[in-house]
Structure 1
Amino acid sequence: MSSKERSSKDSGRQEPVILGVAEAAAPYGPDGAGGGDAAAAAAHPRYRALNLDRLQEQGMLTHDGGRSAVAEDFRIIKRPLLRQARASGADAIRHGNLIVVTSAMPGEGKTYCAVNLAMSIAMELDITVLLVDADVARPSVLKVLGLAPEPGLMDVLLDPQLAMADVILKTNVANLSILPAGRSNKHATELLASRAMSRLLADIASRYADRIVVFDSPPLLITSEAHALVGQMGQVVMVVEAETTTQHAVKEALRQIEACEHIHLIYNKTKSFAGNDYYGYYD
């Protein structure tokens, strides 16, 4: 880790968190609606209700889950990200409200961190969150949330007539919307690096002053799509699985994104006490 990184151990802060690979949950109703809220679905065709009880059972953060350990953990994680996203004047960061969550290798918990981070930010009183599944080769955000596949990001990039508003999903979490990955495409890397993607990101970043956008990215060392995406983000969060990801892999992943000025690390699933999972946060 570089000298600018600081472990949360310095402040004596490490809390239990349940992060990892979840089983793909089945949809909970027509079009993936969890609670069967027919009135809301009829009023908003792109409305999808998340099964919050099941998410909570899986260790996910939910807005009605109380002061859980997971909720406290992500309050700590989100605070510096929000501070930099809101910076102004000389401290302003280009696309600072665009936050990408990635990892060196698959299975390190990046999707769980992305979803939990988005859920936590959605609890803020004056912020809305758009959660984007940008892992277009192996999309998993909708699976984790218990929703069926939907058109999304790749469809917008492939069809100039399709607006982002046509594919964004509204949810029963007050300030949270979701942009699915959409259809797979063999030219995904080129699409993510295209001018159309740059225009889309600029529009996402500037359209709403109160919006934070969290991207679940592909792993850095497995696909080329991650590099095309990370280079256009204001902030990068890299998830590192303790005792699994090699130091070489971490260094190589950091080397590939060293041009990014604002990199945060989540050291995930460290074993501080027998039988308990912990994480450490680095900024």
Structure 2
Amino acid sequence: MSTIEEALRKAEQQKQIGQKIIASDDSASEPHDIQQDSHDSIEGFVANDQESFNRPVEKFDWNFLKSKGYICPESAHSKLAEEYRSIKRPLVVNAIGARKKDIQRSNLILITSSVPGEGKTFTSINLALSISAEFDKKVLLIDADVSKPAVSKVLKIKQTPGLIEYLEGEVDNLSDIILHTEIDGLRIIPAGKRHKYSTELLASNKMVSLAKELSERYADRIVIFDTPPLLATTQAEVLASMVGQVVLVIAADSTSQSLVMESVKKLENCADVVLTLLNKTKRSLDTSYYGYGKY
């Protein structure tokens, strides 16, 4: 499926727009305050495997995922898996490595694009799978594309209470919407039901408090938000102000420069780090072509 170019190794000079990771894919809303007992509310994310003994476990359809080009356990040494090892490295270093102290909310990573169809969910899932494969990393993948929840669709997660129900107050504890998976290091929060005020819920005090809690109390865990395209709704822009890193996925040969520039402008005053990932490129670049682009 994908021929993703090796990711740029440099992760210095963060606080800038447009560090470029080159990739390819040849396939083809009322505010609430978070509860004071938040340590218990996110237990499902931070506890060891022992806490999941009575909880159902999500099983993945690996044959389906493999047919769609996603990373699978038996393809741990495939070109795609190796390329995502390179892509994740600067993000992980920023999140919990040497540069963590320089970036606010460094472990919160938002994946978005300018318009639909550029590969943001493909990137979100593969990035989560790749990071969770590490021995000392835990990942929480949040389907924050609440209008069109693609993560649940791809991973074939049945309709279940999710982020919207938690923000609305229908579900009290975050641990009640966290899905445990067959991968020890990976947990998932589905989007939940559709809501006419979903944007307002994502901008609520409760969402702000949740992001702050996940970032500060459990800074050694990595949280990935799969969000709507920036130019399709305001939801990604709202969430981008709550995270430390943003990956803007750009489809090669189809997304115009004007759209990319418009998206970059929306992100200028949001996260400390904004990386761009060029997806769906057909050519294979020599490593000597690697460098940083600034928009």
Q: Unaligned regions of 5+ residues in structure 1, if any?
A: 9-13, 21-41, 274-279
Read off the aligned partner of 1:123 and give its amino acid letter: A
**Is residue 265 from structure 1 mapped to residue 276 from structure 2 by the alignment?**
yes
Q: Unaligned regions of 5+ residues in structure 2, if any?
A: 1-15, 29-51, 285-289
Aligned to 1:250: 260
8 Å CA contact 1:267–1:281 kept in 2: the answer is no
Distance (Å, rounded) in 1 between the aligned partners of 2:291 and 2:186: 24
How big is each residue's C-alpha offset from its partner over 1:67-101, in whole Å with a ceiling of 9 and x where there is no partner?
11110111111000001111468843111000000
- Give the 3-state SS of the residue equivalent to 1:271 in structure 2: coil
Shift of 1:125: 1.1
Distance (Å, rounded) in 2 between the aligned partners of 1:190 and 1:242: 33
Shift of 1:112: 0.5
Shift of 1:190: 1.1
Distance (Å, rounded) in 2 between the aligned partners of 1:123 and 1:148: 24
How big is each residue's C-alpha offset from its partner over 1:230-281, in whole Å with a ceiling of 9 and x where there is no partner?
11111000000011111100000000101133001110111216xxxxxx89
Structure 1 stretches of at least 4 aligned residues deviating more than 6 Å after TM superposition: none
8 Å CA contact 1:17–1:70 kept in 2: the answer is no
Aligned to 1:61: 71
Q: For CA contacts below 8 A with separation 6 or more, give which structure has more relative contact order.
A: 2
Which of 220, 224, 227 is the equivalent residue of 1:210? 220
How big is each residue's C-alpha offset from its partner over 1:130-158, in whole Å with a ceiling of 9 and x where there is no partner?
00000011111011112222211111000
Shift of 1:63: 3.2
Shift of 1:160: 6.3
- Give the 3-state SS of the residue equivalent to 1:186 in structure 2: coil
Aligned to 1:35: none
CA 1:230/1:238 → structure 2, altered by over 3 Å: closer, same or farther? same
CA 1:5/1:202 → structure 2, altered by over 3 Å: closer, same or farther? closer
**Is residue 200 from structure 1 mapped to residue 210 from structure 2 by the alignment?**
yes
Shift of 1:208: 3.0
Between the aligned residues of both structures, percent identity stands at 39
8 Å CA contact 1:46–1:170 kept in 2: the answer is yes
Number of aligned positions between the proteins: 249
Give the TM-score of the pair, scaled to structure 1: 0.81
Aligned to 2:83: 73
Shift of 1:45: 3.4
Give the TM-score of the pair, scaled to structure 2: 0.78
Read off the aligned partner of 2:272 and give its amino acid letter: E
CA 1:17/1:269 → structure 2, altered by over 3 Å: closer, same or farther? closer
